A and B are shown apart, each in its own frame.
Chain A
Amino acid sequence: MKLAIPVEAKGLQKKVCTSFGRTPYFLIYDTDSRVEVYLDNSAAATQGGAGIKAAQIIVDSNVDALLTPRCGKNAAEVLEDSGIKLFKTRDGSIKDNLEDFAANKLEVLEEIHAGFHNHGGK
């Protein structure tokens, strides 16, 4: 199974990023092979619609699920259209969250915010 996570820096000990659309990197993690691939998030520097562009990157990576602390309305629409499941991360390292996911401890992300539109959310 392939997972995507917005992350602050490269390495499993690092933290999950609090922003989805404007995270610096995405970790694409294969739970079978345990291969970590880090993608630069080209949406981070865009003027607007970062969530949509970030979601497009995730969709194009053919992942099965996204683990994120939160997600905006537009990004959620893109992700749901392509059948990607959303799970809510908790405070802690990437590794903690991957272990929680493997143990079915992460909840499905249900609260979708209306978007920050450059007014915070970093």
Chain B
Amino acid sequence: MKIAVLSGKGGTGKTLVSVNLAAAAKSAAYMDCDIEEPNGHLFLKPEKIKTAIVYNKIPVVDENRCTGCRICVDFCKFNALAYISGKLRIFEDICHSCGGCQLFCPEDALWEKDKEIGKIETGVSENVQVLTGILNTGEASGIPIINRLLERGSEMEITQNIADAANESHGIGGIGSTKTEKLTVIDCPPGSACSVMESIKDADYCLLVAEPTLFGSHNLRMVHELVTLFKKPHGVVLNKCLEGENPSEIFCKEYSLPILAKIPFDHELGTLNSKALIAVREQEKYRKLFSSLLQKIVEEVAYETVIGS
């Protein structure tokens, strides 16, 4: 089961919720898709880190072959190509690596080169497999890194399932053990733009984290529109809850959105978080809070599956 955690703005507590959900599960994968500033690893402190570089394909022109027909220039929907003073000019930062220019070139004058745009780090933190996407500073789009992360997550899930199946056939799973699907928590980038859409596309459930302010409820509205558009089952976590009116809670009631947890704006949790500790691993009461949240999500997903079938 894949749970995407998202919010309309930064700083609402996506990472707090994500790392604690992953830590509260028996076994989970935590995927940091906030590739511009991934920070889940600061809390999970994964070990046995393996790094894989992520490349993008960028066109290169063979000037001896290029006849200046401009088919590629006219084709490019992002206008990454221009033909000036008898030469094809390629704007690498604008290119979306669709490969169309190369495909349409009648002279075979274009080919592709690899351009490094970032990396993926995988590691282990107790019960959690940690996957972190890191976009190089100055790169325009981290979408290829998010895609690679999701692919990598699926590969690991398959490996895990094969291992589970092998264990079961050897009876290691024990009598009465039900095969539980592995949990993947996707920590999304803030906002509701392309990188978020990419991050939630494979998710079974979207968890929206919101702050108790007017601004917070506006941002909740944005991500709510997004997950509705994507027809994703969703629920809300109200973070930093205080006494008094909560505009995000009012929004939830207005749209009949399930509120799966209310996290108090408490000093103790804030202190643990500021020390980059995982609350679930430090305090029983937080383990209960996030275990109960996870349980509710599992129930919501099961309910959605029944309704959807």
Contacts and interface: CB of A to CB of B under 8 A. Distances in A.
Interface of A: 43, 46-50, 52-53, 55-56, 59, 74, 77-78, 81-83
Interface string B52-91: 0000000000000000000001001111111111010101
A49 B94 contact: yes
6 A-B pairs closest in CB distance:
A49-B79, A53-B79, A52-B79, A49-B94, A81-B84, A48-B78
A56 B78 contact: no
Contacts of A59: 82, 84
Given A43-B79, A56-B73, A49 B91 contact: yes
Contacts of A50: 79
Interface size bucket, B side?
Answer: 10 to 19
Contacts of A82: 84-85
A114 to B, nearest CB: 11
B82 A47 contact: no
Contacts of B84: 56, 59, 78, 81-82
B191 to A, nearest CB: 13
Interface of A is mostly: helix
A47 B77 contact: yes
B82 to A, nearest CB: 5
Given A78-B82, A82-B85, A52 B91 contact: yes
Contacts of A53: 79, 82
A47 B54 CA distance: 25
A52 B82 contact: yes
B91 to A, nearest CB: 6
Contacts of B91: 49, 52, 74
A48 B85 contact: no
Contacts of A78: 82, 84, 89
25 contacts: A43-B79, A46-B77, A46-B78, A46-B79, A47-B77, A47-B78, A48-B94, A49-B78, A49-B91, A49-B94, A50-B79, A52-B80, A52-B82, A52-B94, A53-B82, A56-B79, A56-B82, A59-B82, A74-B91, A74-B94, A78-B84, A81-B84, A81-B87, A82-B84, A83-B85
A53 B79 CA distance: 6
Interface string B16-58: 0000000000000000000000000000000000000000000
B80 A49 contact: yes
B78 A55 contact: no
A59 B79 CA distance: 15
B89 A81 contact: yes
Interface in B91-128: 91, 94
Contacts of A46: 77-79
A13 B87 CA distance: 37
Given A46-B77, A52-B81, A74-B91, 20 more contacts: A47-B77, A48-B79, A49-B76, A49-B78, A49-B79, A49-B91, A52-B91, A53-B82, A55-B82, A56-B73, A56-B79, A56-B82, A56-B84, A59-B84, A74-B94, A77-B89, A81-B85, A81-B87, A82-B84, A83-B85
Contacts of B85: 81-83
Contacts of B94: 48-49, 52, 74
A81 B84 CA distance: 7
Contacts of B89: 77-78, 81
A82 B78 CA distance: 21
A83 B87 CA distance: 14
Contacts of A47: 77-78
Nearest to A54: B79
Interface string B218-254: 0000000000000000000000000000000000000
A80 B78 CA distance: 21
Contacts of B83: 56
Contacts of B87: 81
A77 B76 CA distance: 18
B71 to A, nearest CB: 14
B167 to A, nearest CB: 50
